[in-house]
Structure 1
Amino acid sequence: MGTVCQAPKGQTDGGAKELIDPYTWEKNKRIITQDVHGIPGLGNFSYRKQLISDPQPDVHYHRGLCEIHCVVKGHWATNIAAEGQIRRYQLSAGEGLILFPGEAHSSGPAQQSPNEFYGFQIRTEGEGEILGLDQTHSDLLREQYRRMEHRHVKVPFTCISLLRQAFDLFSTGEPLQRSIGLQYLTCFLFQFTLMQPVEETQGARADSRVSFALRYIEENYMKPLNLEQLAQEAGYSASYFESIFLKEMGTTLKKYVNKYKVEKAKVLLESTDEPIIDLAFRMGWSSSNYFCTVFKKYTGMTPLQYRRLREAK
């Protein structure tokens, strides 16, 4: 899932950690890193096809890099922490989103629907030539992104085609093909800042009560959690709080909590030899049988089967 480093003091909101993804080449996850493509000013260039069950990284940020996501199929969502607020963005096919350097963000424990997207990082801080551009055009591109007013935009089909061709050419590993792909990518980059913004109502700020619930779950997932408890902490009735959470997150609080705890349990199953019954109770599950039932529902296997599978790899 990538290298995680502690963020410098004051760098991000919410105790986020820096995430540095390694080179990856799998069927549904392909990441071409800077040390592989060698292009100044370009970070990772990636393609991902995600299922609902795929784990998501914890709250993280990228130092000195803008990160752009372009959804080509399905729906993709992310929470961005900025200026003391958490804003949740829901992207559909044909939409793009930019994350600015140092912004803490997370998709939650899992996506709510399958999706397919391209993502890449560009270095907008500092000086010097980037992306094979001369100094004048390097400065112009950086300035465009520094002054960008809208982060959530509509991406025309022609621009999605540019991005797809760029990634396919990068994927060959051949210097000449990569150079051609860079021209497509640069063309996309200059157009991205001019794309039509998505209406604000489609990228609305997450309800403060939902933001509270998400933070509370992250900080207390090792304890028993239920709707009534979280509603009481937020100062609302259980039924009203549940309706707000469902509207904002697209899933019930119970399903969200269970999925979040399962993802955390995976980490413990991989990194420790703790007996499953002890792990279940330490994580606040009501019984080891219930833990195994929920775990199998989301992963298709029991905790023991999952541990043995990971050990075999």
Structure 2
Amino acid sequence: MSVNGNWLDMPLFTFLGFDCIRKTIGLSEHTHKVFELTYISEGECVWLTAKGQEIHLYGGWAAIIQPGEPHQGKWNVISPSRLFWAGFDPFHPEACLNTTFTPHEMAHIGNILKSAGNMAWKADKTTVEAFEDLRYALELEKEGKEGVLSKASHRSTVCRLLAAIANSISQNPVSRNCSEKIKNLETYIAVNIRKDISVSELASQTGMSAARFSERFKKETGLSPADFIRRVRCEKACGLIKEGKLSITEIAFRLGFSSSQHFAGVFKKYTGMTPSQYKRQQ
């Protein structure tokens, strides 16, 4: 479900949407004239820009895409997830209308968003609560249960959301540390891709017990270690399929799958198509 900015009479706020995606769906390249902010509360999502930049979102992560930046879901799909999206235009001549921001504050927020580039970060509590409050507002709007003063409250929530996002981006070094840990594990998995990598083995790379590691990993990424390993293998598989030097069966065994059938099932879950279908598109 989604609405455009006219819903709240805020030139700053151009669109809002929410979807609980239960199976992989298509999402081809598109652009927005404004900043697009997305948040994943469950599952995962990977944005791919026209310049080849990958922006990974896991459960509890948010991301920003710059205005006019062509982007799409990686492999032209969005994986099962609980996805929020919103558009903001802090440089609109009337951006301050019906907000709590002064012109100086709005310009400052706009500069923060612009300087961020395309990036993802671990969303803070205020961001999460604001997105959930707006989702509930969408449901009330859809059911025709909005009160006389409801929109005034929703405008306040929009301002709270934007301020929280600007603050999070300003404090991004914390997010970089989280991303670096994940990147290190991704490299380790790639090097040992043929092995049956255990949770204990991954935990040893971080100095934590297996139980503590699994808990922290799930909280930080929204994925179990096993799901993360499968995602890395599928990304590696895409590269090998594009190279065209190996058969589907050879790729399956090279990447540690027990059979080509098992490989096909996992690959389809993450890309929305079988390895053979993906190969025909190359």
| TM-score, scaled to structure 1 | 0.54
- Tell me the secondary structure at the aligned position of residue 187 of structure 1: helix
Q: Distance in 2 between matches of 1:127 and 1:31?
A: 25
- Structure 2 match to 1:38: 9
User: Using the alignment, how far apart are the partners of 1:50 and 1:257 within structure 2?
Assistant: 13
CA contact 2:66–2:117 (8 Å) conserved in 1: no
Partner residue in 1 for 2:221? none
Which structure dedicates a bigger proportion of its chain to helix?
2
1:38-57 correspondence to structure 2 within 5 Å: 38-53=9-24, 55-57=25-27
CA shift, 1:260, in A, is 9.8
Q: CA 1:193 to 1:36, structure 2 compared with 1: closer, same or farther past 3 Å?
A: closer
Asked if structure 1 preserves the Cα contact closer than 8 Å seen for 2:46 and 2:57, the reply is yes
1:169 corresponding residue in structure 2: 137
With over 3 angstroms needed to count, the CA separation of the structure-2 counterparts of 1:253 and 1:56, relative to structure 1, is closer
What is the match of residue 301 of structure 1?
none
Q: Does 1:189 align with 2:162?
A: yes
Q: Which residue of 2 aligns with 1:154?
A: 122
Root-mean-square deviation (Å) = 4.1
Q: Are positions 1:61 and 2:61 aligned together?
A: no
Q: Secondary structure at the match of 2:64?
A: strand
Q: Aligned to 2:14, what secondary structure does the other structure show? A: strand
CA displacement at 1:43 relative to structure 2: 1.3
Q: Which residue of 2 aligns with 1:199?
A: 179
Larger deviation: 177-186 or 252-261?
252-261
Note the C-alpha offset of 1:144: 1.9
CA contact (8 A) 2:30 2:70 kept: yes
Query: Which string of whole-angstrom CA distances, capped at 9 and with x for unpartnered residues, describes residues 44-96 of structure 1?
Result: 1111100224x222111112x111111112222222233xxx12233221111
In 1, Cα distance between the equivalents of 2:23 and 2:55?
Answer: 17
Structure 2 unaligned spans of 5+: 169-173, 187-231, 258-264
Within 1, Cα distance between the matches of 2:272 and 2:152? 46
Amino acid across the alignment from 1:103: E
- Counterpart CA distance in 1 for 2:253 and 2:272 is 13
Contact 1:73–1:115 (CA under 8 A) maintained in structure 2? yes
Q: Contact (CA 8 Å) 2:134, 2:154: kept in 1 or not?
A: yes
Structure 1 segments (4+ residues) deviating >6 Å: 260-263
1:181 counterpart SS class: helix
Q: CA deviation at 1:176?
A: 2.0
Per-residue CA distance 1:155-186 (angstroms, 9 max, x = gap) = 12343112211332355444621221221221
RCO higher in structure (CA 8 A, sep ≥6): 2
Matched residues, number: 208
Contact 2:10 2:95 in 1 (8 A): no
Q: What is the CA–CA distance in structure 2 between the aligned matches of 1:168 and 1:121, rounded to whole Å?
A: 18
Q: Could you list the per-position Cα deviations for residues 233-292 of structure 1 after superposition, in whole angstroms to 9, with x for gaps in the alignment? A: xxx555469968x9xxx95489848469989xxxxxxxxxxxxxxxxxxxx79xxxxxxx
Aligned partner of 1:179 in structure 2 is 152
The aligned runs of 1:208-247 (5 Å cut-off) are 227=241, 230-232=242-244, 237=246, 239=250
Aligned pairs (5 A) from 1:1-313: 30-53=1-24, 55-63=25-33, 65-82=34-51, 86-107=52-73, 108-112=75-79, 114-130=80-96, 132=99, 133-148=101-116, 151-169=119-137, 171-173=139-141, 174=146, 176-195=149-168, 196-197=174-175, 198-200=178-180, 202=182, 227=241, 230-232=242-244, 237=246, 239=250, 252=267, 256=271, 258=273
The amino acid across from 2:129 in the alignment is: S
Measured in 2, the distance between the counterparts of 1:257 and 1:169 equals 31
- Which residue identity does 1:153 align to in structure 2? W
